[in-house]
Structure 1
Amino acid sequence: MNDHYKHAALLVMDMQNRIVSRFAEQTDVLLPVQRALEAARRNGIPVIFVRVAFREGYPEVSPRNKIFGRIAEFGGVSEAEADTQIHASVQPLPGEPIVTKRRVSAFAGSDLEVVLRSRRIDTLILSGIATSGVVLSTLREAADKDFALTVLADACLDADPEVHRVLVEKVFPRQADVMAVDAWIDGLA
């Protein structure tokens, strides 16, 4: 394995049933994520799954929060709900942690940083839905925390293809290496 990834982890973010279902008609949309998972596992790179979910009764949800404020009204996003479980096509293996966050960034309201620091991880490889949500927020916070970053552009999805393009081509390269999954896999050798 490339020394650059010696202390790295692949973050698979918000690949949970409710979010993945928004892309259900695009059957091959998770193939890059699956290839990244297989390559990480084959090369001994830890995989950490991140999902968004809330406690029963939604005590973490503020009505002032534009993204999450209506969740308490409609429900379906508590920790035990099927919608918040990791999608079957990218299931964690035994021993691969699932971190539960309470906001957009993978760090917000979660123990992600504790998991990373305990494993001496200083490099993050990011994949997730949505590029303009969890990927952007996590990238910004991780950069501020001095993690080295790689974004797997084709293992990130967004409902707005133009927003995805602008982020991966113009915004993310300021703080991360941005590449396709196949190029990242080739670089592991």
Structure 2
Amino acid sequence: MGIVGGGLERAVQKAFTRPIPKSAGAQMRYLLKQLKGTRAVADALGVSQRTVERYVKDQIRRPRADLAQRLEDAVRARWQPRIRAEARKQAATSTSTSTSTSTSTGLVVGTRARFGFTATPGTTDDARIRHLAIALPPQYAARLFDAQDAGASEQQLRDIAAEGLGEMYFRDGGRRAHGLDVEFTDVEHVDFDL
């Protein structure tokens, strides 16, 4: 999972109402319930079916570090699906009202990356490392989540994020710089918040 895809996943996980199970046995039992069989769990984790059965019965309590990470990742990816879906839906449709105007706040993106467009050298809009924290409109959140669900590549997710950031930062929601192609490269970090 890339920087943007991982950031979207972490943002959704912030909406969880309960922590994931802590013990390896509880995590295996959860996966067994979700995947409906020890063979499916074993295939998902890359272990034998007998190993899964031992964890389920608490005959083995402490997994190797690599298995512990795979186990936690598998549980986290399936944890609270309705809460996850609701958080994504809210980010893709939410608006907040300020004192006099209604502004969209679908998904807040905080990033440090090379951001801008090709311009005359020395202008303020020339591509350079920028630290931005911008609320994207809900339609961009919806596009990002839909693309992620469809299995979009990291570059495709970055392109959607760049389009949204360009719309809000350079084009000011369509009020200026029409037709501007924005570059979003050398991404150091991306954080999303719902």
- TM exceeding 0.5: no
**Which structure has the bigger radius of gyration?**
2
TM normalised by structure 1 equals 0.28
Which structure dedicates a bigger proportion of its chain to helix? 2
Q: Please report the TM-score for the alignment, with normalisation by the length of structure 2.
A: 0.28
